[in-house]
A and B are shown apart, each in its own frame.
Chain A
Amino acid sequence: DVVMTQSPLSLPVTLGQPASISCRSSQSLVNSDGNTYLNWFQQRPGQSPRRLIYKVSNRDSGVPDRFSGSGSGTDFTLKISRVEAEDVGVYHCMQGTHWPWTFGQGTKVEIK
């Protein structure tokens, strides 16, 4: 199975400051169709996950533009340009290129 490794696992951030989460895969996530199926999900406390980003850098409808995804191959990043209070929660990366689809361990974002 593809192992997804996130870092850091805990990220205390000051309101209004940027935040960055890394996600690395144990093998390339480039699919035979040329797409890279790397997703980012946000899980607020007590809620179900919600997708923020799909195919590395495509933001879902309604997701604030302070969230951005980037990367290629095995190395990916989720950035929050200016953290707001509502961004508190756990962020999960997930690869959908190889079955079984696999998630990272999750990164907990909290306000300092």
Chain B
Amino acid sequence: EVQLVESGGGLVQPGGSLRLSCAASKFTFSSYWMGWVRQAPGKGLEWVAIINQDGSDRYYVDSLKGRFTISRDNAENSLYLQVNSLRAGDTAVYYCSRAGIPGSIDSWGQGTLVTVSS
């Protein structure tokens, strides 16, 4: 069974930075597009970014471009999200996800909570 385990969340002050990580296992990580989806408390789901198999293509939600950077290390079976200049509105659970087929997510991690507050 596919495993995606996020880490790196926590409490950070406005303007701060975090690096979220996702450790993938039990599938061939380098064969899949991977992405990050977030969910603010009590709210719906929002795509953040997606990256192709070798990291050469990356797409971001326009509103987050410039502050968030998605990357991957296929040798380490890991996905990352660098989040900078954090604002209160970035408070959310961040889910690592696998795009198993075009236009879809077939696996989700358990999520890591990022709280932006002074």
Contacts and interface: CB of A to CB of B under 8 A. Distances in A.
A103 B108 contact: no
Interface in B5-56: 44-47, 50
Contacts of B46: 103
Interface in B91-118: 95, 99, 101-106, 108-111
Contacts of A92: 44-45
A50 B47 CA distance: 15
Interface in A41-58: 41, 48-51, 54-55
Contact of A48 (B47, B59, B110): B110
Nearest to B93: A48
Nearest to A51: B106
A106 interface: yes
A91 to B, nearest CB: 11
Interface string A17-31: 000000000000001
B61 interface: yes
Contact of B44 (A37, A60, A104): A104
Interface string A78-112: 00000000000000101111011111111000000
A97 B101 CA distance: 12
Given A39-B105, A96-B102, A101 B95 contact: no
Contact of A102 (B47, B99, B109, B111): B47
28 contacts: A33-B102, A35-B102, A37-B103, A41-B45, A48-B95, A48-B108, A49-B45, A49-B95, A49-B105, A50-B108, A51-B104, A54-B101, A55-B101, A55-B103, A60-B106, A92-B44, A92-B45, A94-B45, A96-B102, A99-B50, A100-B59, A100-B62, A101-B50, A101-B103, A103-B44, A103-B46, A104-B44, A106-B45
